[in-house]
Amino acid sequence: MTAVPTSGAAADPRRRRPAIGLIAGLVILGLSLLTAFLPGLVAPHDPLSFDYKAILHGPSLVHPFGTDNFGRDMLSRVIWAYRIDMQIAVFTTLFPILFGTMVGALVGFYDGIAAQIFGRIVDAVITFPFIVLVIAIVAVLGPGLGNMYIAVGMVGWVFYARLIAAEMRVQMRLDYAAAGRVLGYGDVRIIVRHLLPNAIGPVLVYWMTDMALSILLGSALGYLGLGARPPAAEWGVLIADGKNFMTTAWWMTIFPGVAIVLTGLGFSLLGDAVAELLRPRR
């Protein structure tokens, strides 16, 4: 009947904030992606070329972010790192989101033994510290970004699958799913055409967070020497490289740090905005 909660639902004044967040997030990530695709256009120098005469120079007009211990231009390295880190963000999460969504959809839809087994896998994965698992797998496969993608892929899909399975179960309680079955639609049609588009929301929101977390994971692995291969610039590696120069050449760590935080902010803002946009409308 007239079950409209009159108290608060209509009375949240913040509903206009996401627009600002959305724009800010899109601008940050848009520029990041642009930089990632065309670092050569933005970077003033070759990120790899040494300049023995300009080792550890502080920020200047020629080198706005200073130079590193090889005399490489930090600005250019931070810029080229966008290519790798954005790649980390996307590639690390690509398989998990695709495979996880698929498994989650099937498990959520069919339930039964498979769901039981899946439940145990979820338990095992969330019970075991994720980064240790990834480190172990990367150690098996050998360091490098490609192997990091594989390592994360092997366990990361579980989180997506868990999310989507839960959301599928919520959606399946809604009548439109039942309507599809009463209309004699096949399972594939009901899953793909009806349930998934409605269940995918939380996954997209999580995806944004996960991309930011992936950059952090890539950085942590870079710090441990298991991530991006030198001499390629990656923010975590840049920070790790600059670690010994924290007191003498602060610019080596600050700028990559700012880039990580800024990109994280972009994903976070976009995630919030997506969550807001996907909030069910009535």
Partner 1 sequence: MSAVPGMTPPLLSVRDLVTEVATARGPMRAVDQVSFDLADGEILGLVGESGSGKTVTLRSILRLVAPPARVAGTILWRGRNLVALPERELRAIRGREIAAVFQEPMTALNPVLTIGLQIEENLQAHTMLTARERRRRAIELLDIVGIPAAASRLDGYPHQFSGGMRQRAMIAIAIASNPRLLLADEPTTALDVTIQDQILKLILTLRQQLGMSVIFVTHDLGVVAETCDRVAVMYAGRIIETGSVATVFAGPRHPYTAGLLASVPRTGGERRPLQSIPGTPPPLSQRSGDCAFAPRCAFATDHCRQRQPTLSAVAPDHAAACWHPEALTTAPPRTAAIAPPPRAPSRPTATTPLFEVAGLVKGFPVRRSALARLLGKPQRVVHALNGPHFVLGRGETLGIVGESGCGKSTLAQCLVRLIEADAGTIRYDGIDIRTLRGAARRGFNRRVQMIFQDPYGSLNPRMTVRQILGEALHVHHMRPAAAIPDRITALLDLVRLPADAADRYPHAFSGGQRQRIGIARALAVEPECLIADELVSALDVSVQAQVVNLLLDLQNQLGLSVLFVAHDLRLVRHISHRVAVMYLGEIVEIAPTEALFAAPRHPYTQALLSAVPDIDHSRRTLRIAVRGELPSPLAPPPGCPFHPRCAQAIDRCRRERPALTARGGDRLFACHLAPPQDGAAAAPRP
Partner 2 sequence: MKRIIKASILAALFASASSTAMAVERGGILHYGRYADSIFLDPVFADSNVDIWILTNLYDTLLLPTDDGKGVRPGLASAWQLSPDSKTVTLTLRDGLFFSDGSPITAEDVKWSLDRARKPGNGLWGPDVESIDTITIADPKTIVLALKHPDPAILASLTVYNTAVVPEKILEALPGANDEEKAKVFSRHPVVSGPFMLDSWSRGTVMKLVANPHYWQKGSDGKPLPYLDGIDFEIIPDDATRILKLQAGELDGAELIPFPRVAELQADPKLDLKLFPSTRTSYITVSVRPQLSVGSPNPLSNDKVRQALNFAVDKDALVQIVTHGIGTPTSSFLSSATALHVGKGAVFPFDLAKAKTLLTEAGYPNGFATSIFVLAGSQDENTIAAALQQMWAAIGVKLDIQQVDNATRVAHYNKGDFSMRVGFWTDDTPDPSEAASYMAYYPHIQSLHTGWKNDEVDRLFTQSQSEIDPVARAAEYAQIQKIYNATAPLIFLYETPYAVALRKPVKGFNQIPLGINIFVGVSLEK
Partner 3 sequence: MLSLRDLLNRMLQIIPTLIMIMAAVFIIVRLLPGDPASAILGDRGSAEDVARINTQLGLDQPIPVQFLYFVDRVLHGDLGTSITLGVPVAQLILERLPVTLLLTAMAALLAVVAAIPLAFLAAIRRGRGVDLTIGAFFQVGLSMPVFYTGIVFLTIFGAGLRWFPIGGYGDGLGEHLYHLFLPALTLAFSLSAVLMRNLRASIIDVLNADYVDFARSKGLAPRLVLLRHVLRNALVSTVTLFGLSVGTLVGGAVITETVFAVPGVGRLMIESIYGRDYPVVQGLAMTLAVVVSLVFLLVDIVQAMLDPRVSR
Residues of the shown chain interacting with partner 1 in the complex, contacts defined by CB under 8 A: 1-8, 10-13, 15-16, 174-176, 178-185, 189, 193-194, 197-198, 280-282
Query: What sections of 38-172 are H helices per DSSP?
Result: 39-42, 74-110, 112-127, 130-141, 145-172
Under the criterion CB under 8 A, does residue 260 sit at the interface with partner 3? yes
Altogether, the residues listed in the chain come to a count of 282
Considering beta carbons, is residue 162 or 194 the nearer one to partner 1?
Answer: 194
Other Cβ atoms closer than 10 A to 110: 13
Least separation in angstroms between CB 40 and partner 3: 26
Looking at residues 72 to 101 of the shown chain, list those that interact with partner 2 (rule: CB under 8 A): none
Q: Cα 89 to the chain's mean position, in Å?
A: 5
Report the partner that residue 169 touches, choosing among partner 3, partner 2, partner 1, none (CB closer than 5 to 8 A by kind).
Answer: none
Considering beta carbons, is residue 8 or 184 the nearer one to partner 3?
Answer: 8
Under the criterion CB under 8 A, does residue 264 sit at the interface with partner 3? yes
Residue from 41, 113, 132, 183 that binds partner 3 (CB under 8 A)?
Answer: 132
Under the criterion CB under 8 A, does residue 131 sit at the interface with partner 3? yes
State in Å, rounded, how far the first CA of the chain is from the last one.
15
Q: Are 238 and 258 in contact (CB under 8 A)?
A: no
Q: Are 277 and 18 in contact (CB under 8 A)?
A: yes
Q: Are 72 and 50 in contact (CB under 8 A)?
A: yes
Under the criterion CB under 8 A, does residue 280 sit at the interface with partner 3? no
Contact stretch for partner 2 (CB under 8 A) within 42-50, 94-102, 126-134, 188-196: 42-50
User: Phi and psi (nearest 5°) for 67?
Assistant: -125, 165
Residues contributing to the site for partner 2 (CB under 8 A): 48-50, 52, 55, 69-70, 139, 142-144, 223-226, 229-231, 240-241, 243-248
